[in-house]
Amino acid sequence: MKDENGPPVPSVEPPHRGYDSRPIPDRLLAIFLAVLVVALVLGYLFVNKLAEISSEEDCALARRKNCAAVDVPSGR
């Protein structure tokens, strides 16, 4: 902008910083972290179940007779 009778007038707007000046709300961050934790726990359980199924399948493909999980008592 330039005034008709004088030097240029400085801009009133703050300089653009390249990011949104509003921070992420705490509630949104908490929801995101909760969803992330749930996804990680479910992923862990899913991978463990796949490993269990794989070991049972390996046992069955080897033509073994007793492929069931063995429960070992902890005490005598």
- Note the pLDDT of residue 73: 79
Q: In 3-state terms, what secondary structure has residue 8?
A: strand
Task: State the residue range of the domain holding 42.
Answer: 38-63
Tell me, yes or no, whether 27 lies in a domain: no
Residue 33 located in a structural domain: no
Domain membership of residue 5 (yes or no) is no
Residue 23 near residue 17 (C-beta atoms within 8 A): no
How confident is the model over 9-58, as pLDDT tens digits?
666 766 666 666 678 888 999 999 999 999 999 999 999 999 999 998 88
The token duo for 7 is 């030097």
Domain membership flag for residue 46: yes
Total domains present in the chain:
1
Q: Which pair of tokens denotes residue 43?
A: 């992923």
In a domain, 18, yes or no: no
Is 23 a member of any domain? no
